[in-house]
Amino acid sequence: MPTLAEIRAKLIEKEQKTGGNFTQDNGIYAFWNIPEGSTATMRFLPDKDTENTFFWQERQMIKIPFPGIKGADEGRNIIVQVPCVEMWGKECPIHAEIRPWFKDPNLENEARKYWKKRSYIFQGFVVDNPLKEDETPENPIRRFIINPSIYKIISAALMDPDFTEIPTDYENGTDFKLTKTQKGQYADYTTSTWARKERALNEFERTAIETNGLFNLNDFMPKQPNNDELKAIFDMFEASVAGELYDPAKFGSYYTPAGMSKTTDGTTKTVQSTTPVSETVTQPVEVKQEQEKQVPQDQSTSETESTKPSADEILAMIRERKNNS
């Protein structure tokens, strides 16, 4: 298990360098559904992958919206989630295209639409659960899809010198108290905090770990796209900008909306997905507010009186840039 010092060093390194959707799998704890004013107590566990310095994995996903599905439900807005290859230190073709858009006030909102969304995958126990769940999983080790605001609270505390033990330690670890309040129209989790006292895992929790084992969090990460998949991602982006329908014949063998299986013949098939990597969870409303903070901070623009370019004009600009590269 990595030491607290190793985690701190890695957090500093990440800070210097940088400045999902999931299926309705009840293994994922939907903390965003807890009642307002309540607190869920969680106990995070280490990653099964001992090479992972942290006890979480960071995902970066792009949501590509379409007004419908060609040849199927053409009148219902859908979203296709794709991995941003910046997760693997590669250049993302979508972000390479939209970064300059933030300098144009007429394109800024369009750029925000396609900007990557971060989330963090943890695992652990729900020690105190204020959520009335219809069904709980047989394995009490749950997965948590943590949004950026909560992640900041978690990681910031780890840098506190008063924090002397790694919180996932079985003997001297610390529970995390996630509290939901309301701020305007959004849910707010800023009062969440680590417990004041350390706590050893109890017999039930230790038995659960021995019986079920820990998850390898990397199993819940998306696969790195190959060249063909990367091309499909950018083609979907262009189709989305143009306001076209999602085309299963073109994209169905690469990436699909939630609830649709991959296909090679252009047909559509609705399925109940069970694959963790492509899971979709109804994210809490406050995530929208957080995601707006994730765009480049130095790209703010001033208002102008010029009008927003049409989809055709944006596509022409994209293709001209591609031809010149």
> How many whole angstroms separate alpha carbon 49 and alpha carbon 217?
7
Read off the pLDDT of each residue in 113-123 and give the average, rounded to a whole number.
96
CATH for 4-316? 3.90.198.10
Cβ proximity of 185 and 285 under 8 Å: yes
CB 40 within 8 A of CB 34: yes
pLDDT value for 279: 42
Calculate mean pLDDT across residues 29-39: 95
Residue 53 has pLDDT above 80, yes or no: yes
CB 20, CB 281: distance < 8 Å: yes
Instruction: Check if the beta carbon of residue 295 is closer than 8 Å to that of residue 102.
Output: yes
- What angle, rounded to 10 degrees, do the helices at 4-18 and 148-158 form? 130
pLDDT digits 0-9 by tens, 187-237: 999 999 999 899 999 999 999 999 999 999 999 999 999 999 999 999 999
Selected residue with higher pLDDT from 288 and 235: 235
pLDDT at 134 over 90: no
> Do residues 45 and 125 lie in contact, with contact meaning Cβ atoms separated by under 8 Å?
yes
In the prediction, which pLDDT does 116 show? 96
Q: Where are the beta strands (DSSP E) in 31-183?
A: 39-44, 57-66, 78-83, 117-128, 142-146, 174-179, 181-183
Res. 17: pLDDT tops 70: no
* pLDDT of res. 26: 77
Residue with token string 């250049």: 91
pLDDT greater than 80 at residue 103: yes
Give the span between the Cα atoms of 239 and 302, in whole angstroms: 29
Q: To the nearest whole number, what is the mean pLDDT of the chain?
A: 83
- Please tell me which residue, 10 or 71, carries the higher pLDDT value: 71
% of the chain residues with pLDDT over 90: 62
3-state SS, residue 249: helix
pLDDT at 272: 40
- Domain ranges within the chain, ordered by starting residue: 4-316
Range of lowest pLDDT (67-81, 127-141, 187-201, 311-325): 311-325
Q: How confident is the model at residue 22 (pLDDT cuts 50, 70, 90)?
A: very low
The rounded percent of the chain whose pLDDT value lies above 70 is 74
pTM: 0.76
Q: Provide the pLDDT for residue 127.
A: 97
